[in-house]
Amino acid sequence: MKVLLDTSAAYALTDRRDPYHVSARAYVRTPGLALVTASAIVAETYTIVRRRIHYRAAIEWVESLRVGGHVTVEHVGLAEDAAIWGILREYAGVPLSYADASVIALGRATGIKEVFSFDTDFAACGLRLVPGG
C-alpha cells in the first residue's frame, strides 16, 4: 500500500518528544506500507529537525532515506513546480506550504490518495489522513 509522507509525520518519527511519536512509530510498522514523498518534504523535514533538535539528527534522517529503502523520494522538477504553484493558487484559503502542495501534486500524479500526516489541512485538499484520518 503506497502512502504519501508529510513533514509532520517524518518529524514525529524523529523526535521522541513529539506528541505523535508513538503513533507514528506504530504506523510505519504496517505490513506492506510503502512511503512516497517529495524532495521538498525532505528539505523541509531536514530544516525543522536541524532547528529543533540538532544537525546530527537531521543529517542522519536524510541518510536513512538513502540507505533504508523505506521511503521513495520523488524530485521536484519544472513540471512539478508548475503544478505545485497551481495547487497553492487553487487552495488559496488553506494555509499550505510549498512542501505541502508538493505532496498534493505528487498524490495527483501518482494516484495516491492517503497521506501519513498529522496536518489536517490535507483533508481540505482531498487526501485522507492516516493513521487516524
Domain boundaries, the chain: 2-127
Distances (CA, A) of 44 to 31, 40, 48, 60, 111: 27, 6, 6, 15, 23
pLDDT band at 92 (very low <50, low <70, confident <90, very high): very high
Low-confidence winner among 14-18, 65-69, 102-106, 109-113 (lowest mean pLDDT): 65-69
Name the pLDDT band for 11 (thresholds 50, 70, 90).
Answer: very high
| Domain 2-127 = CATH 1.10.1370.20 | no
Q: Give the model's pLDDT for residue 73.
A: 92
Mean pLDDT in residue range 54-77? 88
Is the pLDDT at 104 greater than 60? The verdict is yes
